[in-house]
Structure 1
Amino acid sequence: MPALCRDCQHRAETAFTRCPACGSRRTIAHPDLFRLTVAHVDCDAFYASVEKRDRPELLTRPVIVGGGKRGVVAACCYIARTRGVRSAMPMFKALAACPDAVVIKPDIAKYVREGRRIRTMMEALTPLVQPMSIDEAVLDLAGTEALHGAPPAVVLARFALAVEREVGVTVSVGLAANRLMAKLAAERDKPRGFAVIGADEAAAWLAPQPVSVLPGVGPALAKRLQAAGFSTLGQLASLAPREAAQRFGEDGPSLAARARGEDARRVTPDRETKSISAETTFETDIAAREALEAPLWRLCEKLARRLKEKDLAAAGVTLKLKTAGFATRTRAARLPQPTRLPEVLFAAARPMLAKEADGTAFRLIGIGAQPLAPADQADLGDLADPEAPKRAARWAAVEALRARFGDDAIVKGRGLRKRPGE
């Protein structure tokens, strides 16, 4: 069985548990090790790892990256995870589970910068790199063996060590025959892992797993599947396409196929952005509509800026509110024409906010653009709104002044209406 040392890249056709060349026990053996080409690379506790890299005194401490006591956990290190802390957990629950944790405010600009460094290193391996988030991507290394003088497994082992050495964080690698199984493999051996799942073993490996293991199967769908008698992926995989459609609608056949480990998706470097959003969590709950409008306006300005950065426009607006009891409310509206102007985004979101501001106390508000449209379709004006191009020019001038003199150079009155606890 082909084997590889992940530290010195010694290769052999017979499995070994300790590398005969360097003595390392970080070895891996699999029948398809040197034939598989699709990999999922995921940084380990990325935000927290970057912070620990920059503050070595925190190496042995539990670290949580997130907002204040009213916020949620953006990321946490593995020490904190052993205490029960999880991403997206309310901060007060995280601190109750791990009271000695060091809480660090997120530095998104820094994480984006480091994520791009890693992305550049990936793109040196293959042009087929599809980003999945700031710290993970799927790669297809088919046809690159001649370029690198080694099969993909060896190239990926070298890459993982290079990231540790040059960036100072660790990654986990999943190698498989398709994107679905590569992702599941990457989650199998974290942190600093390297797992392989071959095409012939995928269905058998998945069969005993709970349905919730499958990407895209959230709590609601998992509950629905279990209520229908499908608690494991093996049970789901046994469904014929027609029966799967009858039971679970048009997505049923695809769901059953994925439960068997089947995935025909290709690695596409230019993944389409489907939505852009901005949100904020309040220090204390806010119920009054007027008090909610000030942060909503500032979020509309932030969203407009992000649309410009992505060279996109909003063809629709989504309002998000989270109650004091953590229940999420969303409302959506299509726009008459695409926009990148905060005042248009605000005008669309404001009536939706008025309907939801019924006395309920909210802890979070957010605004999103979905669906998206090309930037060149934004704010063109028409007979119903001939002033749109002029407003776009004014907003561009405001942004230019802010870029030169700071965000406080020009502030709308509604953006100043801060309320206690905001």
Structure 2
Amino acid sequence: MKPSDAAPGAARRRVILHVDMDAFYASVELRRRPELVGRPMFVGGERRGVVLSANYQARAFGVVGGMPSSRARRLCPQAVAVPPDFDAYTEVAAGIGEVFESVTAHVERASIDEAYLDVTGALRAFGTARALGEYLRALIADEQGITCSVGIGATKFIAKVASGQAKPDGLVEVPAGAEPAFLHPLPVEQIWGVGESTAGRLHRLGIVTVADLAQTPVPALQRVFGPHQGALLADLAWGRDTRRVLARPGERGVGCQRTFADDLDDPARVRAELLRVSATVARRMRRAGVLGRVVTLTVRFADFRTVSKSATLSGLTDGTDELYAQALALYARLGPPRTRIRRVGVRVQGLVEAGKAYCQPPLDAPERGWREAELAVDEVRRKFGSHCLDRAVLTRRGRDPAPARSLMEAQSAPPGHPWG
């Protein structure tokens, strides 16, 4: 990477988010062990093995991921060790991935608990990158019960450093052109790829801060670190990074999945949860300004057997009732469940921008119907919080939602409709 390589990027500034979960494994465990909140804890072996993740109370004693559990115990004898549950972490990570893909198709998963998002094309729906970042943070906290930190910048490197500065549970945006002012006060250890060994060599050269590194002649760095690494260090010290977000192949979709605290076998509760996830997917689609026609239902059973069914609608939609009706139909195709249900998910693909699509309403549809009602509810929830208004059936434990109706039937809002 050469300084000249970054010049074309200035003409078309990218907007990159780096989203990093805060103490991911530990946060997932604390979600189901609330009695440990505020106490030092780590995920890993009690006496043997390594620490996978530690909460911030344990980190205050020097406990960090990757260290032997025996050392963690010496540093913080009162810390509680929790054995890892990788199935739980994978499920939470999948749910977070659904949130990412609801705003952009350009998602690069760097690991199970962090990702880069190129949101350059998604800003029209959110106004600003900061608003989009806060939306993602709120959605992940609401749906998964864990926090994350978000960094925003014009490059992956700047976004990554910014998310580190935002920890825990924060957001830092580096405006275009402010990269040197943001980077230069930081220690050189903040530079991508600078580990303990490289930092030691830099310190011996009198290079302690990123500003020191930026002012060091490139040939001097190349003599010590080699032609490639020396030039790379110089570029990063000025915030130059030409790497693009590398999205995984596959069609973009908008989805949501919900893992239950207790496995379900009550058909009424299963239908209520299908309505809940369908409503969430529909809201995300409207927020992202997309319509879709391919609906996929995924069900995971208590024995971890997972099945999926898909169907293609006759037209495009972002409506809750259409998605819920299709989810119910797909669920019926599975037949009577042989065991309890652990998780359900709904995903919509075949997306098009809402502003470029035409949907033919039924001939007898009123001028204003359920779509306008849902848009109004979206606005109320945006202003006053996601729990301020919901379908009544989703606020009453155990009540069975009414069978989903077509949009034309739903316009008349008969008694027993899911909004009732």
TM range (shorter): 0.5 to 0.7
Return the letter of the residue paired with 1:54: R
Aligned-pair RMSD on alpha carbons?
A: 1.8
Residues 188 and 208 in structure 2, CA contact (< 8 A), matched pair in contact too = yes
Kept in 1: contact 2:14–2:118 (CA 8 A): no
Q: Secondary structure at the match of 2:43?
A: strand
In structure 1, what is the Cα distance between the partners aligned to 2:195 and 2:14? 29
Q: Is the 8 A contact 1:36 1:175 kept in 2?
A: no
Query: One-letter code of the match for 1:85?
Result: V
Q: Identify the residue that residue 195 of structure 2 maps to in structure 1.
A: 218
Aligned partner letter, 1:270: R
Can you give the 5+ residue segments of structure 2 that lack an aligned partner in the other structure? 1-12, 250-420
Local SS of the residue matching 2:18: strand
Q: When the two structures are superposed, what TM-score results if normalisation uses the length of structure 1?
A: 0.53
What code does the residue aligned with 1:70 have? R
Per the TM alignment, residue 128 of structure 1 is displaced from its structure 2 partner at its CA by 0.7
- Aligned partners of 2:29 and 2:19: how far apart in 1? 20
Contact 2:221-2:230 within 8 A present in 1 as well: yes
Mapping of 1:155-166 within 5 angstroms?
155-166=132-143
Given the alignment of the two structures, is residue 45 of structure 1 paired with residue 19 of structure 2, yes or no? no
Structure 1, gaps ≥5 residues long: 1-34, 272-422
CA distance in 2, matches of 1:152, 1:126: 12
1:208 is displaced (CA, Å) by 2.9
- State the 1:84 CA deviation: 2.0
The structural deviation recorded for 1:244 is: 3.0
Q: CA deviation at 1:153?
A: 1.9
Instruction: Work out whether residues 128 and 139 of structure 1, in 8 Å CA contact, stay in contact via their aligned partners in 2.
Output: yes
Is 1:189 the equivalent of 2:169? Answer: no
Give, in whole Å, the separation in 1 of the partners of 2:66 and 2:126: 42
Specify the code of the residue in structure 1 equivalent to 2:17. A
Q: Does 1:265 align with 2:243?
A: yes
**Could you give the per-residue CA deviations for residues 319-363 of structure 1, whole angstroms, max 9, x where no partner exists?**
xxxxxxxxxxxxxxxxxxxxxxxxxxxxxxxxxxxxxxxxxxxxx
| 1:155-196 deviation per Cα after TM superposition (whole angstroms, max 9, x unaligned) | 221111111111111111111111111111111121110111
In the alignment, does 2:221 pair up with 1:238? no
Pair 1:91-2:69 in alignment? yes
Q: Percent identity?
A: 39
Residues 17, 153 of structure 2: 8 Å contact kept: yes
Contact 1:112 1:134 in 2 (8 A): yes
Q: Is the 8 A contact 2:130 2:173 kept in 1?
A: no
Instruction: Specify whether residues 257 and 70 from structure 1 end up closer, same or farther in structure 2 by C-alpha distance, changes over 3 A only.
Output: same
One-letter amino acid of the counterpart of residue 157, structure 1: E
Secondary structure, counterpart of 2:167 in structure 1: coil
2:111 matched residue in structure 1: 133
Q: What is the CA-CA distance between 1:61 and the residue it aligns to?
A: 1.9
- Match of residue 366 from structure 1: none
Tell me which residue corresponds to 1:381: none
1:171 to 137, 148, 153: 148
Give the Cα–Cα distance (whole angstroms) in 2 for the partners of residues 132 and 242 of structure 1.
32
CA contact (8 A) 1:36 1:198 kept: no
One-letter code aligned to 2:167: K
> Do 2:186 and 2:210's aligned partners in 1 also have CA atoms closer than 8 Å?
yes
The letter for the 2-side match of 1:244 is: L
Distance 1:103 1:77 in 2: 11
1:342 is aligned to none
Q: Could you list the per-position Cα deviations for residues 371-395 of structure 1 after superposition, in whole angstroms to 9, with x for gaps in the alignment? A: xxxxxxxxxxxxxxxxxxxxxxxxx
- Give the superposition deviation at 1:106: 1.0
Instruction: Pick from 44, 47, 50 the counterpart of residue 72 of structure 1.
Output: 50
Q: Does 1:59 align with 2:26?
A: no
> 1 CA distance for matches of 2:221 and 2:38?
49
User: Given that residues 36 and 152 in structure 1 are in contact (C-alpha distance below 8 angstroms), is that contact kept between their aligned partners in structure 2?
Assistant: no
Q: Shift of residue 47 of structure 1?
A: 0.5
Name which of 79, 91, 102 aligns with 1:113. 91
Native 8 Å contact 2:26 2:55 kept in 1: yes
In 2, are the aligned partners of 1:240 and 1:253 still within 8 Å (CA)?
A: no
SS in 1 for 2:121: coil
- Residue by residue over 1:91-138, the C-alpha shift from the partner in whole angstroms, topping out at 9 and shown as x without a partner, is 122112221211011111211111111011101111111111101001
Residue 149 of structure 1: how far off its partner (Å): 4.4
Aligned partners of 1:235 and 1:83: how far apart in 2? 31
Cα distance between partner residues in 1 of 2:248 and 2:230: 28
The Cα shift of 1:240 comes to 4.0
Aligned residues: 236
Does the CA contact (< 8 Å) of 1:173 and 1:195 recur in 2? yes
Judged with a 3 Å threshold, the aligned counterparts in structure 2 of structure 1 residues 247 and 60 are, in CA distance, closer, same or farther, namely closer
Alpha carbons 2:207, 2:213 under 8 Å: kept: yes
Q: Distance in 1 between matches of 2:75 and 2:206?
A: 34
* Distance in structure 1 (CA, Å) of the matches to 2:188 and 2:232: 14
| Partner SS, residue 243 of structure 2 | coil
